[in-house]
Amino acid sequence: MSQMRDYQHKSSPYLYTRVQHACWGAFQAGYTISELGIAFGHLALLYDIHESDQRNYCTLVVTILSVSALISAYLSQFLMHKMERRKFMIIADLFFLLASGLTQINQWWVFMFARLVMGISVGMNTSVISLYIREISPDNMAGKTGALFQANVNLGIIFGFILNLPLKSVVNVSEVTDIWRLVFLFPAFFSVIRIFVMLFVYKIDTPYYYYRNHLNTLGRKAVEQIYKEKYVLSQEQVHLAPGSVDFTDMSTGDQTLITESEQSYKNRLKVGMITNFLQQMCGNTYLAVYSTGVLSLVTSDFYHMRSFVLGSYIFLFFVSTLGVSFNRKLARKRYLVGGFLFCSLCQVGLAIIASFKEDVQNNSTLQFLLVLFLFFFYAAYNFSVGPVTSIYTSDILKDEGMSYSIVMNWLGNVISLTLFLNTQVYVNCIVFATSALCGFAFCSKYVVETRYMNFNDIQKTYQNNYEMNVKQQLDTSQVLNDSVNNNSIVCSLNNNNSIVNSKM
């Protein structure tokens, strides 16, 4: 308990403000999810897209950003080794500003290219922000600060939808106004803010980056910015200790340590990649982007549906903000295991109700249950699996490992979004329920608790966990071999007794 009360950092307002400025990139990632809402109807008329093709075109516009983000996340590892985190975020902001400007050009192919460039920015942000937050946060604050990432994603979703509200449902091109342009320009404002603060306010990067690159003087300055004076030396020793950097950052040193770190890295990478993939395959992004498609089972009224969607987005933000207060107190593994299980149960409920498509539209009880399960799912995901996956990944992995994990996250995102092409909602919910159940089983077996642990301790824990599993496997194999040998001996004795008896 003393560890929880012993705050090592100088100032909570400073820490949260610094984290929030980094999280503007997460806000933009969420904003891109919902900005196409009503605005896409205006774009469809502006670019002469036939109504029967709008579903496919909308899926294309959404998916191209995700594919671009996937590629960007993979390439990010090569830059993050060489570049300060803050400079990496500045480059991401420059890409976002370029994309926002391109959306204002009245050409369909230019708009598609703008979404691709926007995806580059979003992929870079999702690769670096969680790392940046973890590396400037004390171990006992990493849960709280890390949860701000998901809270900002949901805040972005809300703002993207709110800016769509002035847009009306239109049926011909003469009704299209220039308000849609503001929808796509608005998030660029936050890129300008972050560029400014990263250039002129937070000019020192994270301690891990400096110590990893042997820039110890700058590393000490980075530590002094965050921690109270009496903790500076101990934090510096943590960063200079053997095993304080990830395996991919080790060039020379104790060969035994490198070998152990390599095995630990493989174990952590497996956990990071699979957990991130299954997080997206729970279906949260699908339900957030295509909530109108799910809620169309409840009502076909445009204004009622819009109110439902806005209410669900506000609930998303409320739950994720509530998680900021609690994520420091509960264990990461419990969050993941319990969250995946509850998400699976909610998706099963949604699948059962959605299978009665004709009845739902005329049955108020089924409509109530559909909305109830939808909100239960949002609560489970945004209180556990959503924020804790990014927190946990930044706990256990650095540049290269984080990059690969985010690639898997975006791969799950792409797959879940393409399921929108399937109009049978209940089938999609079954896929998501199965994925969440796999997440429950995987996290129960392979995830190791990391709360309040520094990176060096986490590496050792995953190495020790691996050795324990190997020993258990060897012990199990030995028991099986002994059992087989004993059975062979028993069979041999039985055969000998049979021969003797036959001779007698």
pLDDT, one tens digit per residue, over 334-348 is 999 999 999 999 999
| pTM of the shown model | 0.86
**Domain check: are 152 and 277 in the same one?**
no
**293 vs 36 pLDDT, higher one:** 36
pLDDT band at 391 (very low <50, low <70, confident <90, very high): very high
pLDDT band at 39 (very low <50, low <70, confident <90, very high): confident
What is the reported pLDDT for 274? Answer: 97
Domain count, the chain: 2
User: How many residues are recorded in the chain?
Assistant: 504
Is residue 481 assigned to a domain?
A: no
**Domain check: are 158 and 286 in the same one?**
no
* Three-state SS letters, 92-153: HHHHHHHHHHHCCCCCHHHHHHHHHHHHHHHHHHHHHHHHHHHHHCCCCCHHHHHHHHHHHH
CATH at residue 191: 1.20.1250.20
Please answer whether residues 418 and 63 qualify as being in contact, where contact means their C-beta atoms are separated by less than 8 angstroms. Answer: yes
CA distance 466 to 193: 44
Question: If DSSP codes are grouped into helix, strand and coil, which group holds residue 33?
Answer: helix
- Overall average pLDDT of the 288-294 stretch: 64
Which has the minimum average pLDDT: 215-219, 323-327, 388-392, 466-470? 466-470
| Distances, alpha carbon 485 to alpha carbons 122, 276, 478, 488, in Å | 59, 43, 10, 5
Of 151, 98, 87, which Cα lies nearest the Cα of 120? Answer: 98
124-138, 162-176, 230-244, 349-363 — most confident range:
124-138
Please answer whether residues 292 and 164 qualify as being in contact, where contact means their C-beta atoms are separated by less than 8 angstroms. Answer: no
C-alpha count within 13 angstroms, C-beta hemisphere, residue 147:
24
CA distance 124 to 434: 30
What is the reported pLDDT for 249? Answer: 73
- Overall average pLDDT of the 448-461 stretch: 89
pLDDT of 310 > 80? The answer is no
- Overall average pLDDT of the 182-205 stretch: 95
What would the DSSP string read from start to end of 309-341?
Answer: HHHHHHHHHHHHHHHHHHTTTS-HHHHHHHHHH
**Domain check: are 181 and 88 in the same one?**
yes
pLDDT band at 302 (very low <50, low <70, confident <90, very high): low
**480 vs 448 pLDDT, higher one:** 448
pLDDT of 3 > 60? The answer is no
Per the listing, tokens 């500003």 go with: 97
**144 vs 293 pLDDT, higher one:** 144
Is residue 392 assigned to a domain?
A: yes
pLDDT of 196 > 50? The answer is yes
- Overall average pLDDT of the 150-169 stretch: 83
Of 174, 134, 111, which Cα lies nearest the Cα of 451? Answer: 134
Please answer whether residues 180 and 43 qualify as being in contact, where contact means their C-beta atoms are separated by less than 8 angstroms. Answer: yes
Of 277, 295, 316, 282, which Cα lies nearest the Cα of 425? Answer: 295
What is the span of the domain harbouring residue 155?
A: 7-203
pLDDT of 351 > 80? The answer is yes
Please answer whether residues 116 and 64 qualify as being in contact, where contact means their C-beta atoms are separated by less than 8 angstroms. Answer: yes
CA dihedral 479, 483, 485, 491 (to 10 degrees): 180
CA distance 15 to 28: 21
CA distance 133 to 48: 44
**Domain check: are 367 and 444 in the same one?**
yes
Please answer whether residues 308 and 299 qualify as being in contact, where contact means their C-beta atoms are separated by less than 8 angstroms. Answer: yes
**Domain check: are 165 and 48 in the same one?**
yes
- Overall average pLDDT of the 380-408 stretch: 93
What is the reported pLDDT for 176? Answer: 66
Q: Which residues contact 215 (CB under 8 A, 6 or more apart)?
A: none
Question: If DSSP codes are grouped into helix, strand and coil, which group holds residue 453?
Answer: coil
Token output for 172: 């011909």
Which of the 8 DSSP states describes residue 504?
-
Is residue 458 assigned to a domain?
A: yes
Domain end: 203, 223, 258, which one? 203
- What residues are paired with 9 via a beta bridge? 227
Which has the minimum average pLDDT: 175-179, 244-248, 408-412, 420-424? 175-179
**Domain check: are 197 and 298 in the same one?**
no
**Domain check: are 174 and 270 in the same one?**
no
Q: Which residues contact 329 (CB under 8 A, 6 or more apart)?
A: 4, 143
What is the reported pLDDT for 175? Answer: 65
Burial of 456 (0-12, 13-18, 19+ CB in 10 A): middle
Alpha helices in 47-102 (DSSP H): 54-80, 85-102
Is residue 474 assigned to a domain?
A: no
pLDDT of 502 > 50? The answer is no
Is residue 219 assigned to a domain?
A: no
* Interval 401-445: pLDDT, tens: 999 999 999 999 999 988 888 878 889 999 999 999 999 999 999
- Overall average pLDDT of the 277-291 stretch: 84
Token output for 74: 């993979």
**Domain check: are 276 and 149 in the same one?**
no
Domain end: 157, 180, 203, which one? 203
- CA gyration radius, the chain: 26
CA dihedral 157, 158, 163, 164 (to 10 degrees): 70
Token output for 211: 């110590």
Question: If DSSP codes are grouped into helix, strand and coil, which group holds residue 9?
Answer: strand
Domain end: 179, 203, 227, which one? 203
Is residue 482 assigned to a domain?
A: no
Is residue 34 assigned to a domain?
A: yes
What is the reported pLDDT for 289? Answer: 66
Q: Which residues contact 134 (CB under 8 A, 6 or more apart)?
A: 142, 146, 391, 394, 395
What is the reported pLDDT for 319? Answer: 76
Of 242, 397, 371, which Cα lies nearest the Cα of 308? Answer: 371
**Domain check: are 180 and 277 in the same one?**
no
Which has the minimum average pLDDT: 116-120, 127-131, 133-137, 155-159? 155-159
Please answer whether residues 274 and 442 qualify as being in contact, where contact means their C-beta atoms are separated by less than 8 angstroms. Answer: yes
pLDDT band at 493 (very low <50, low <70, confident <90, very high): very low
pLDDT band at 180 (very low <50, low <70, confident <90, very high): confident
What is the reported pLDDT for 480? Answer: 45
What is the reported pLDDT for 49? Answer: 77
Is residue 220 assigned to a domain?
A: no
Distance spanning both ends of the chain, measured CA to CA: 77
Token output for 479: 């028991």
What is the reported pLDDT for 258? Answer: 72
What is the reported pLDDT for 185? Answer: 94
| Average pLDDT value for the chain | 84
**Domain check: are 316 and 169 in the same one?**
no
Say what percent of the chain tops pLDDT 90.
47
Which phi and psi (to 5°) does residue 227 adopt?
-100, 155
Question: If DSSP codes are grouped into helix, strand and coil, which group holds residue 167?
Answer: coil
**381 vs 300 pLDDT, higher one:** 381
**Domain check: are 339 and 420 in the same one?**
yes
**Domain check: are 191 and 281 in the same one?**
no
CA dihedral 102, 103, 108, 110 (to 10 degrees): 10
